[in-house]
Amino acid sequence: MTPATLPATELPIPDLDWSIASYKGHQTSDGFAYVASLRRNGKKVASVEHDGRGGTVMVFWTTAAKEHRQAWNRWVADYQSLHPENAAYEPESTAVESLIDEYEVAAKLRRATRRETPVLRPGESVLSSGGFTALRGLPDSPEVKAFLRKPDHDFDRFWDGKRWVKL
């Protein structure tokens, strides 16, 4: 297995076949609940839900469930081998939540790109949904250049609209 990297969060994953779409989440009195579509090669194959009360993610398969379920189980196992630090957690939940993180970060980056808002990030290996800074001004504006000249910032990458680029 040659791992791939998610473009927005830069998280290593087994391959780019699986993604999340149509994500909706909300805070409940017991935790955070969500529902989303699980896609394989861009096609919806399942709905994933978490009721926000603890426990595991529920996956409701659509057509060709056996084929997709077997491929998903292999993907989750490969994901777990790439991320042994998450061994204490339920593997399917961890895998789904990493795809949700990618979905949320990518949406924020798309919004910033549409608004021509420069986005910087520190050199951490995986980007969380709040782990970047959006600046006012265009990338080559005096305000952004002045910010980058400050010695106390820890940013080393810039979002060019498609990928992270080293500064």
Q: Render each residue's pLDDT in the chain as its tens digit; 167 residues.
A: 788 999 988 889 999 999 999 999 999 888 889 999 999 999 999 999 999 888 889 999 987 678 899 999 999 999 999 998 887 888 999 999 999 999 998 998 888 888 877 787 776 666 665 566 666 555 666 766 777 777 776 777 888 888 888 77
Identify the pLDDT of residue 140: 65
For residue 164, give both structure tokens.
């992270």
Q: pTM (2 decimals)?
A: 0.83
Task: Give the model's pLDDT for residue 30.
Answer: 85
* pLDDT of amino acid 128: 60
Answer whether 99's CB lies under 8 Å from 83's CB: no
DSSP code per residue over 118-142:
-EEEES-SS--TT--EE-SS-TTSH
pLDDT of residue 139: 61
Report pLDDT for 115. Answer: 81
Pair (34, 75) in one structural domain: yes
- How many angstroms separate the CA atoms of 112 and 106, rounded? 10
pLDDT at 136: 55
Q: Alpha-carbon distance 72 to 95, whole Å?
A: 10
Are 17 and 81 in a shared domain? yes
- State whether 98 and 149 are in the same domain: no
Sheet holding 58-61, edge to edge: 18-27, 32-40, 43-50, 58-61
Query: Do residues 103 and 124 both lie within one domain?
Result: no
Q: Are residues 94 and 146 in the same domain?
A: no
Looking at the structure, tell me whether residues 48 and 83 fall in a common domain. Answer: yes
Residue 122's domain spans which residues? 116-166
